[in-house]
Amino acid sequence: MRGGSRRWIIREVENSLRRLGTDYIDLYQVHRPSPHTDVEETLGALSDLVHQGKVLYLGSSSYSGSQIVEAQWVARERNLQRFVTEQPPYSLLVRGIEGDVLPTVLRHGMGTLTYSPLSGGWLSGRWRKDFASSPTSSARPPARFDMADPANQRKLDAVEELALLAEESGLTLIELAVAFVINHPGVTAAIIGPRTMEQLEAFLPAADVTLTADILDRIDKIVAPGVTINPADNSYGAHELRPEQRRR
């Protein structure tokens, strides 16, 4: 009961419309590419929903650069509706999309709605090296929060340096993290997930922060452009590296 097949897309859009009590969905995004479903089938089903007035615009999420290009090509060649947005992960610690995804969406005139600007809480300011509140793997994806993983130790080291940079710049770590994301010319908007009014108020000042070239240069020395410190934090293209997809 998942994936990008015509059967599930049509069924779940109807279910969503019923639950939401509405006649149409403004933006309907495919959460992840389906390795066992041709993108033409996915776009064909979504295009029918657009023609029926049940969906206005289409988007993708966690697509790699090559998958974005393929979807755009199929839409053009088959005269189907195209994806107009992409929703990838992006933060100070997860910069993988800078190398391919962001340049690709810019070339195709797509909007980019990035998620997890605090990298799952790593950049909230609550988790610091040697603090009792350092992240654990309980109730979270172990690969991303297992502190026995050297990659996650490197993330903690980076968080320490970024926290010091934020303090020297007169910002909170949250403000630095969100400002970094929304200052990128390829990012349309950052999706945030505050659970309380206090958390929301911690995010809002970032909208008025412009990071200087000096601050951006110092960030690049801590986490190099295009680098995701722990590859497990990249949610796009993951299925291509599963054992069954590799030649060895």
pLDDT value for 101: 95
> Does residue 50 surpass a pLDDT of 90?
yes
pLDDT tens-place string over residues 111-141? 999 999 999 999 998 766 666 455 554 445 5
> Does residue 77 surpass a pLDDT of 90?
yes
What's the rounded Cα separation, in Å, for the pair 147 and 197? 30
> Does residue 1 surpass a pLDDT of 80?
no
Q: If you average pLDDT over residues 194-221, what whole number do you get?
A: 95
> Does residue 247 surpass a pLDDT of 60?
no
Closest CA relative to residue 119, chosen from 13, 28, 230, 2 = 230
pLDDT value for 132: 43
Indicate the pTM of the whole model.
0.88
Bridge partners of 30, per DSSP, are 60
Tally of residues, the chain: 248
Average pLDDT in the chain: 89
More confident residue, 133 or 72: 72
Q: If you average pLDDT over residues 168-189, what whole number do you get?
A: 96
pLDDT value for 233: 87
The rounded percent of the chain whose pLDDT value lies above 90 is: 75
pLDDT tens-place string over residues 19-47? 999 999 999 999 888 888 999 999 999 99
- CB–CB of 94/234 below 8 Å? yes
What's the rounded Cα separation, in Å, for the pair 136 and 127? 10
pLDDT value for 190: 96
Would you state the structure tokens that stand for residue 90, as one six-digit string?
């992006």
pLDDT tens-place string over residues 136-171? 544 455 677 777 788 888 999 999 999 999 999 999
Helix (H, G, I), strand (E, B) or coil at 4: coil
pLDDT tens-place string over residues 97-112? 999 999 999 999 999 9
Closest CA relative to residue 60, chosen from 71, 48, 52, 51 = 71
Q: If you average pLDDT over residues 205-226, what whole number do you get?
A: 96
pLDDT value for 134: 55
Closest CA relative to residue 187, chosen from 58, 75, 74, 101 = 101
DSSP class per residue in 39-65: HHHHHHHHHHHHHTTSEEEEEEES--H
> Does residue 180 surpass a pLDDT of 80?
yes
Distance of CA 102 to the CA centre of its chain: 11
> 88-229: what CATH class?
alpha beta
| Residue 185 CB partners (closer than 8 Å, separation 6+) | 106
